[in-house]
Amino acid sequence: MNENTPQRPEGQNDGSGVQPRVQVEPTPVAPQQPMPTQQMPSASAAPGSAGAQHAASGSHTASPAPAVETMSRTVVKTKTKKLPVFLSSLAGLAVGAVLVIALVMTGALDIDRGGGNVTAVTPSAGTQTIEIDSEDTTLAEAVSAKALPSVVSITTEIQDTSGMMGASEGSSGSIGSGVILDKDGNILTNYHVVQGATGIVVTLDDGSSYEAELVGSDESSDLAVIRLKDADPNVLTPIEIGDSDDLSVGEWVMAIGSPFGNEQSVSTGIVSALYRSTAMASASGTTIYANMIQTDAAINPGNSGGALVNANGELVGINSIIESYSGSSSGVGFAIPVNYAIDIANQIIAGETPVHPYLGISLTTVNALNARQNNLPVESGAYVNEVTEGGPAAEAGIEAGDIITALDGEEVTSADGLIIALREHAVGDKVVLTVVRGDKQLDVEATLGSDEALQEEQDSSTDQPGNELSDEQLRELLEELLGQGQGYGYDGYGYGGW
């Protein structure tokens, strides 16, 4: 597989010097033996995934104790004046007092002056009372106490009965995380956590387990909603929703999930950056991660679908992908902004098809190599392979063979760059596309449509019987995907239906 093709990270860095890449944060293989309090489906480790070697071998050989090296260092102690030490201590107490007061004033925490209770308020679910010593509580402790009951561990089972492509019949599974949205048992998670699952088990903060069903998903956004079966609403604590548009670089955040299957784990950090975007192409489609929140809070396999919360314990993001040499945390993780994620979730819960901006074109990337091979006028941009009749692009006058080089004045250097730029807009928005057509450059205004009809068409064609490919058709498809059937492409992949 091409090194530049994003994929689920596996194994450890082999020291070959390859650059880190943005990858879907993978889910660890589900354990063979479930915890006593869970009713997990049986699952086996997938080769190459996190923890797979342990599951395959079934045992470990103890390594000999490493040699102990004794190092001596000289420590120079200096005398300090008592007054500065006193002032420093006083300042520390003052800062701690300000943090507690700030939490109380914002309403995130309601401290019971008569005892040691902290009441975390969730608008849609009443209150939860947690025993905490209000005189010795750190910010992380307070936020953990409030948000942990709203984050769950998700175990999936995937049954393979096809036997296709050399795969043997059997089952496998993985572990991810999710966030409780309401008392009805709706849980928001990543699509890649529950993709292909034939069985889903959710474990709550109190250790109780429930079966869950898939309500709906949006593969291109990597989001899904599942719902608990027969869950008591009184044991569910919906999370409080924050506003991801209010986030600032440097702001304190906490990531909550089940890294490597370690349920209810928290890690803290800050917002490292905002508005990070990437697109991941695969044979099954393209996933768009637009305007992502970058954080240095540790995100590892199993954190997918978990919560990124702010200092008020409010959900601001859904942890989804990492950038790493090894596939584990390197301090560069990304979360889908909650404002976007909740909008998609609400559409799914309402039984609607999540919609995205749509131009009605298929694209491939222009680069220096294929520009020279095909005598193209520019060396970067998004090449229009095909224009859908009656679509927004056709109505705007876009033609096959055009090369889109900018959107609203912002440079477009690739197909995925254009797709990301489009996803940052809403259905109905007007955009100005800069187009190179032969030796001319044009500015074309287009009104973005909805891709709902396209999704329904794709779903219906997938569900129809008799769509099996012959060996010759499969060979032609693979040649097209690998870029052998045309002179230009993006890492072997084209982008259709955007």
So what's the pLDDT on residue 98?
Answer: 52
- Return the structure tokens found at 495: 């982008």
Q: Which helix (H) or strand (E) holds 56?
A: helix 52-57
So what's the pLDDT on residue 22?
Answer: 56
Query: Is there a catalytic annotation at residue 362?
Result: no
Burial 335-371, CB ≥16 within 10 A → b, else e: bbbbbbbbebbebbbeeeebbbbbbbbbbbbbbeebb
So what's the pLDDT on residue 489?
Answer: 31
Query: Which of 144, 192, 267, 362 is an active site residue?
Result: 192
User: What whole-number percentage of the chain has pLDDT above 70?
Assistant: 60
pTM score above 0.95: no
Find the farthest-apart pair of alpha carbons in the chain and give their distance in angstroms, rounded: 85
Which residues lie below 8 Å from residue 393, measured CB to CB, with a gap of 6+? 359, 360, 361, 384, 387, 446
Calculate mean pLDDT across residues 333-353.
Answer: 95
Amino acid sitting at position 44: S
Q: Could you tell me the pLDDT band of residue 237, with boundaries at 50, 70 and 90?
A: very high
Q: Could you tell me the pLDDT band of residue 326, with boundaries at 50, 70 and 90?
A: confident
- Return the structure tokens found at 89: 């201590």
The closest of 206, 214, 212, 215 to 230, measured between CA atoms, is 212
So what's the pLDDT on residue 288?
Answer: 85
Q: Could you tell me the pLDDT band of residue 129, with boundaries at 50, 70 and 90?
A: low
pLDDT tens for each residue of 25-46: 555 655 544 444 433 333 333 3
Query: Which of 218, 222, 296, 402 is an active site residue?
Result: 222
Calculate mean pLDDT across residues 5-13.
Answer: 34
Contact 155, 263 (CB under 8 A): no
Query: Is there a catalytic annotation at residue 222?
Result: yes
Calculate mean pLDDT across residues 469-486.
Answer: 49
So what's the pLDDT on residue 328?
Answer: 81
Calculate mean pLDDT across residues 423-450.
Answer: 93
Query: Which of 304, 320, 329, 414 is an active site residue?
Result: 304
Q: Could you tell me the pLDDT band of residue 403, with boundaries at 50, 70 and 90?
A: very high
- The secondary structure of 403-467 as a DSSP string is EEEEETTEE--SHHHHHHHHHTS-TT-EEEEEEEETTEEEEEEEE-EE-HHHHHHHHHHHHSS--
- The secondary structure of 132-158 as a DSSP string is --TTS--HHHHHHHHHGGGEEEEEEEE
Contact 21, 138 (CB under 8 A): no
Q: How many residues would you count in the chain?
A: 498
- Return the structure tokens found at 99: 């943090």
Tell me: pLDDT of 247 over 90.
yes
Q: Which domains does the chain have, with CATH numbers?
A: 20-45+147-354 (2.40.10.120), 85-146 (no CATH), 357-460 (2.30.42.10)
User: What whole-number percentage of the chain has pLDDT above 90?
Assistant: 49
Tell me: pLDDT of 2 over 80.
no
Q: Which residue has the higher pLDDT, 297 or 53?
A: 297
So what's the pLDDT on residue 79?
Answer: 37
Residue 236 phi, psi (nearest 5):
-100, 135
Residue 100 C-beta-side C-alpha neighbours within 13 Å = 18
Query: Is there a catalytic annotation at residue 192?
Result: yes
So what's the pLDDT on residue 350?
Answer: 96
Q: For CA atoms 275, 278, 279, 282, give the dihedral sign.
A: negative
